[in-house]
Structure 1
Amino acid sequence: MTPEVPVDEDGVTAHRDAVIDLLGVLMYAELRAFDRLAEDSRFAPTLDGRAKLAAMAAAEVGHYVALERRLRSMGVAPEDAMSPFTDAIDGFHNSTRPSNWYEGLVKAFVGDGFAADFYGEIATFVDASTRELVLSVLEDTGHADFAVREVRSAIDADPQLAGRLALWARRLVGEALTQAQQVIAERDNIADMVIDGAGDLQSIGALLKRISNAHGERMRALGLST
């Protein structure tokens, strides 16, 4: 059950600075997602695959605009909200550049999925209108089913590919976890909101377990071992 969250007079959660941070990190993540999908499309073996990635990149722009609109309505400059997170997000993407089409698909499905679960859990601690926006931004744009079909088909044709992609996926999640920890460690606003909202270590443990379980399900969907 989603907890009731206290709100200020403007309808924003009492953890206003944490909301700004959450929207800022998501906004920059969407900007980088657009860049990455456009870049990864060069690996596409077919025009259909290239077109699908282009459509997904366009969806990320729509998410970016929605977050920008929300921040401006709060009187916050989007650049100011995004800037604290550029190093962490850039660091993740720079250290996990895919070398081929299938690594790119696994990164989008597993890496982005892990991030979506993480920020989706944080969204349970914000006000209802912000939560609705965040969850709509994190909603799958069609990449999931496409990635699963492509990767499973490739593994059926070359079973040895599964081992290489499983190692790649584990690396992605390790890097994504480091990024998430960096965001939490460097932004007391978000950490304080999560601690206040969760209430105790048992609830935080349950949160982390849900994220871990969701990751395992994604790996199984791809036909990869965890």
Structure 2
Amino acid sequence: MTELQKLSKQGRADYIREKLQELYPNPPIPLEHKDAYTLLIAVLLSAQCTDARVNTVTPALFKLADNPYDMAKVPVEKIQEIIRPCGLSPQKSKAISVLSQILVNEHDGKVPDDWDALERLPGVGHKTASVVMSQAFGHPAFPVDTHIHRLAQRWGLTNGKNVTQTEKDLKRLFPKESWNALHLQIIYYGREHCSARGCDGTVCGICTTTYPNRKKPKIVLKP
């Protein structure tokens, strides 16, 4: 039995962190933005939509309005027309309009550097708030989307009940100072090596290294 086969869950986590740091030492934020507000809007749009698609839509949206004061004046119908390719445009356009008004009326036009205030904004759940808190304000956070949830299961880092449990499990396994970069590193690795269709838990380097005796596809529980 090799040393990797003997690894505990913590041992696998340590190996994975080292490997991802080697592959992606300085992972960029995949959503194009210029400040906390444009990042917030981009993350909101990314729900059930690819980052690449969001990045094709936001230039036109931000040309129209790239701050809450201007966005609050844009008719919801106009916002919806622009963001339609991202899907869920009726809900997302209304959320963008209303949260922009709230930022103007309650936060002096600034995105709040506060968990509770962020999560109270329409269209902003815990995952979106986590991205903004980590990438805009530098607070330790571990945003978990369906892709990270899938990889964490394949790598034996969580039992896969839901994204909330996965976030707790990952936070226990990885040091806090690594969280902000690590969630991006996992996303990039998943896209390039361990995608939903490209790997079933028996193909990519991390899967085969951490589970060399795995012969059957790893069944992943959806959140």
TM score, norm. by length of structure 2: 0.26
Name which structure has the greater RCO, CA cutoff 8 Å, separation 6+. Answer: 1
Q: Which has the larger radius of gyration?
A: 2
TM score, norm. by length of structure 1: 0.26
